[in-house]
Chain A
Amino acid sequence: MRKILRLIRKDLLVEFRERRSLFIVLSFAISTTLSSAIASAGTSLGAWERAILLWIIILFAGIIGLAHSFTREEERGTSLFLRLSSPPAFVFFSKLIFNICFFAVLEAVIVSAFVFFHEGDVPSPFIFITIILGGGFALSSGATVLSAIAAKSAMRGALFAVISFPVLLPVLIAAIRATALCFERHDISAASEMIFFLAFSGALISISYLIFPHIWNNE
């Protein structure tokens, strides 16, 4: 665990000292939330419209950051150094944990801005937050290994967009559905989507753990 924490610390230092990608992601999140609020001013959005809008903002802002995790290592040529310094399993879990935490922070910013600007009430804050975090956890779990696969390709950004869409679509649909149900006060139905998020994440993390060394050590 200490070795994984060392890798996470490295990613944190690099991310916060570079600042550029963090700034891009946060500015995208704030500007899209604000734009959607201004565009829909005076209109009363329904539960489903609000849920769709919220998750599209979360998905696109988050994907920019998640795609970055392995792509940066390849683009800046640091992947060889990382590969020689740490076993593949440690690299995978450190990136996964970093991405999950990064996504959670991003969600906190987006959801706060969304609730503030759209002035929508959230009937069950606890279930709502659980759904947001669960959906983010599932999206980060999927996007981490996809980012590693895409990073090894010459067309990194384009490939990530293409391969992430079919894999992450079920999570997005489930997250939108759960959030809309939560807005409609159907808390039990909404909470049941958590089982899907956990099952999806568990399956994907297990598969990713098995295939990651082959992806990572590919020349």
Chain B
Amino acid sequence: MLSISIHANNISKKYGNRIIFSSINFDASPSHPCAICGPNGSGKSTLLEILGGIRRPSSGSVRYTQNGENIENNYERFFGFVSPRLRFYDELTALETIQFVSGGADIMGKSVHLLEQFGLNQYRNLQIGHFSTGMLQRLKIITALILNPPVLLLDEPTSNLDETGKNTFFTLMQKIIPHKTIVIATNDPDEAALCSRRIVLGA
């Protein structure tokens, strides 16, 4: 398993003249999950997307390192991503979506295991357009985990989940926290409690 750390260096983001946040510095590494907290509109999701290279910061930089060595661009291959902004294809089934994410890797056994774990195995051949928001959230978590990425960027990962879904997620997280670099954007106290560090935006 790769051990990857994320280093945020003096990150600022503004839209027009509106400064969303500025001078954000922190490091995230395996076994030290980090929570990004703050009120609505404080830029939690934006900061998480900047960490994943999905958005560009107005200033500052993000570095991914492996054993202290810088990793070049294309960070997508290193992280699993859960976000309300992530939308799947309604016409594909749950299994087809997981296979699409896997990029042809042999993940059938792991897919079935995760689908069973999150209570979706019986719906694996159902088109996603027929899924509820809670089922979609479970599927997002599965797609983030399927390739066993060394980094997880999670934006409100338990939103729309019922108690069973939340329990499954928290149990799984307790197991993988020591092995992965995890950053969670959240206002949920239970999600934040998973993390050993907090970055508070808009404070």
Point out residues on A near B: beta carbons under 8 Å: 2-3, 6, 10, 13-14, 17-18, 76-78, 80-81, 83-87, 219
Contacts and interface: CB of A to CB of B under 8 A. Distances in A.
A85 B85 contact: no
B85 A10 contact: no
Interface in B47-91: 52, 54-56, 74, 76, 81, 83, 85-91
A3 B103 contact: yes
Interface in B86-115: 86-92, 96, 100-101, 103-104
Nearest to B127: A17
Given A17-B91, A17-B127, A80 B103 contact: no
20 contacts: A2-B104, A3-B103, A3-B104, A6-B100, A13-B91, A13-B92, A14-B91, A77-B85, A77-B87, A78-B89, A80-B86, A81-B87, A83-B54, A84-B81, A84-B86, A85-B103, A87-B74, A87-B76, A219-B54, A219-B55
A49 to B, nearest CB: 41
Contacts of A81: 86-89
Contacts of B88: 78, 81
A23 to B, nearest CB: 14
Interface of B: 52, 54-56, 74, 76, 81, 83, 85-92, 96, 100-101, 103-104, 127
A90 to B, nearest CB: 9
A83 B104 CA distance: 17
A2 to B, nearest CB: 6
Contacts of B56: 219
B14 to A, nearest CB: 13
Determine which residue in B56, B74, B81, B100 has the highest number of CB atoms from chain A within 10 A of its CB, and name it.
Answer: B100
Contacts of A6: 100, 103-104
Contacts of B89: 10, 13-14, 76, 78, 81
A78 B86 CA distance: 7
A13 B81 contact: no
A80 B45 CA distance: 14
A76 B83 CA distance: 15
A219 B56 CA distance: 8
A6 B107 CA distance: 15
